[in-house]
Amino acid sequence: MKSNIRYGSRWLGLGTAILLVVGCSGEPTPRVSGGAQLTGAAVHREHTIFRTIPAAVDTDLAPGIVAVELTARPYKFTVGDQQVLGYAYNGQVPGPTLVAKVGDTVRVTLHNQLPDPTTIHWHGVNVPITMDGVPWKMPAVEPGDSFVYEFVVNQVGTFWYHPHFDTGKQVDMGLYGALVITDPTEPTANRDEVVVFDTWGEHGGLPAFPPLGEAWGTVMEKPTDHEVDHGVDLRQLRWTVNGSFNPEMDAVAGESVRLRFVNASNNGYLELSWPTIRQIAGDQGLLAELKLPETLVLAPGDRAEVELLMGEDPIVITTYPYTMYGGRTSGSPVELFRVVPKGQGNKPAGLPWNFSGEKPSEDPLYTDLVYVLSGSNQGGVWMINGETFPNITLAKVATGSRPVVEIRNLSTTEHPFHTHGMVFEVLSHNGVAPKVRSIEDTINIRIRESVRIRLHPEEPGEWMIHCHILPHAHGGMMTLLEVTL
């Protein structure tokens, strides 16, 4: 089946729209293009062209197999008068969008041309433990080496991929991309776009990362002194959309547009707003029913899908200032991008999405596991149950069981709680059950909030659970859960 997810060409972005120019040597020399320029600390905000993320090329024509080559390598980007060192998959940031159908075998060959080891983690996708990209079960891919990731995709939705070795550094430098798993039975929008959000500091380029401490070398890098002592001033970050500042997307009036959002920021939150939000999907595909929220919060690592019904008026998508320190802060919404209709036409009706309407499972009122989140930026130590990774107590659950977990946030910030290798059903937030069934792999835990979930462990192995604010994970807010046969 041919997908209608749009493909682009030649464009990449790292903090701004960047054009890949091939010189005489054949080496790519990225440079700034389009309307966003960095001049000292000031950024001139003007619209750029929306850039569709190029899709990965499937090198195997056999049905049911998606075979892709990804090469991770350093790139120097010229941003204004600055030279910024970044990393890229296949010469583009975000990396190529991988597209597969549910039931396909995905085979990704990673070629590491970085100066450091790397891996790929498939965020939100249930894969065998040896394919998860966490390097204590399979060695990291050393510089100059290659590794083949192969797994069958049985979920539907918008996922993403990124390293899980020196995670904060490598993600921040540009190593991330989207993985879209489609269901041929779903209705088809007139336009289907992946939209990846990331952050860029206005007062400089990418952060400088120190050499890794010995204890951190296999999973995440140790936090910088700035992160430990001062945190990150999220008010000084600008958001990019597929690598561009303030892009403008064209759409045909009278048509429907499906947008697949990914928040790839290390620590930035979004609270998206525009008239008549129609959320159709979350972390794990279609929701149980259509949501019409006033705003849509995306924590780091989160995904969501929305349907735009294009009339003859532009749709301006903004974000409120929102930080991990308690949510929305003072300030007006900031425009991220806009969708501008072309031609004439009335708003179409929403597509006939097959929402299940399932109600949430009843909370059994017993608890199998408790995770208490604590810590602060003072010293940069973040804990689960009073422990910092790797000095943790290993809990165990059985394959096929449905353990109930209570997550209590006693810290001074919010935490996007992410599980590897398994999804979970949300049972309640502070004792209040959701209206309909909600299956997720990343859930934001607000300050002083208690959230109850039911895990769905299926694949055996020692699986990572951690906060997806990467400086918090670096500071120790990670643990392991062993799934036994």
Instruction: Give a yes or no: residue 181 inside a domain.
Output: yes
Both 337 and 375 in one domain: the answer is: no
> Between residues 43 and 199, which one has the greater pLDDT?
199
Flag the least confident range among 33-47, 72-86, 231-245, 350-364.
33-47
- The band of 202, judged by pLDDT with boundaries at 50, 70 and 90, is very low
**Is there a domain that residue 82 lies in?**
yes
- pLDDT greater than 60 at residue 231: no
Higher pLDDT, 10 or 116: 116
Q: What is the CATH number of the domain that holds 119?
A: 2.60.40.420
pLDDT in tens, 349-408: 999 999 999 999 999 999 999 999 999 888 889 999 999 999 999 999 999 999 999 999
Does some domain include residue 225? no
3-class DSSP string for 432-476: ECCCCCCEECEEEECCCCEEEEEEEECCCEEEEEEECCHHHHHCC
Query: With 50 as the cut, is the pLDDT of residue 69 above it?
Result: yes
> Same domain, yes or no, for 86 and 23?
yes
> For a pLDDT cut of 70, what percent of the chain falls above it?
82
SS3 letters across 72-105: EEEEEEEECCEEEEEEEECCECCCCEEEEECCCE
**132 in the same domain as 281:** no
Residues 35 and 151 in one domain: yes
Instruction: Say how far apart CA 308 and CA 186 lie, in whole Å.
Output: 16
Could you tell me if 440 and 374 lie in one domain? Answer: yes
Q: Of 172, 201, 230, which one is at a domain's C-terminal end?
A: 201
d(CA 92, CA 194) in angstroms, rounded, equals: 15
Element (H, E) at 65: strand 65-79
> How far is Cα 16 from Cα 174, in angstroms, rounded to an integer?
12
**pLDDT more than 90, % of the chain:** 75
Three-state secondary structure call for residue 120: coil
Both structure tokens of 353: 């999405």
In a domain, 221, yes or no: no
Domain co-membership, 157 together with 96:
yes
* Domain range enclosing 428: 369-484
Averaged pLDDT, 104-121? 98
> Residue 368: its pLDDT value, please?
98
Count structural domains, the chain.
3
Last residue of a domain, one of 324, 342, 360: 342
Total residues found in the chain within this entry: 485
Residue 229 lies in a domain: no
pLDDT at residue number 18:
32
Given 178, 201, 224, the domain boundary residue is 201
Task: Report the pLDDT value the prediction gives residue 76, as an integer from 0 to 100.
Answer: 78
Task: Let me know whether 320 and 373 are in one domain.
Answer: no
Predicted pLDDT at 79: 54
Q: How confident is the model at residue 244 (pLDDT cuts 50, 70, 90)?
A: confident
**Residues 76, 71: Cα–Cα separation, whole Å:** 16
Per-residue pLDDT, 317: 98
User: Has residue 364 been placed in a domain?
Assistant: no
Q: Are 301 and 173 in the same domain?
A: no
Residue 128's alpha-carbon distances to 72, 122, 179, 424, 459, in angstroms, are 23, 11, 17, 17, 6
Region 233-252 average pLDDT: 83
| pTM reported for the whole predicted model | 0.86
**Bigger pLDDT: 211 vs 279:** 279
Same domain, 39 and 88: yes
pLDDT score for 78: 54
Q: Do residue 462 and residue 323 come from a single domain?
A: no
Kindly state whether residues 373 and 459 are assigned to the same domain: yes
At 177, the pLDDT band (50, 70, 90 cuts) reads very high
Asked if the structure places residue 350 within a domain, the reply is no
Write down the pLDDT at residue 201. 56
pLDDT for res 337: 97
Model pLDDT for residues 298-351, shown as the tens digit of each residue:
999 999 999 999 999 999 999 999 999 998 988 889 999 999 999 988 999 999
Q: Which residues contact 421 (CB under 8 A, 6 or more apart)?
A: 126, 127, 129, 132, 457, 459, 461, 463, 483
Check whether residue 66 and residue 193 sit in a common domain: yes
Whether 196 maps to a domain, the answer reads yes
Q: What is the mean pLDDT of the chain?
A: 85
> What is the predicted pLDDT for the residue at 194?
99
pLDDT exceeds 60 at position 1? no
Summarised one tens digit per residue, pLDDT across range 436-477 is: 999 999 999 999 999 999 999 999 999 999 999 999 999 999
Find where tokens 């195997």 sit.
60
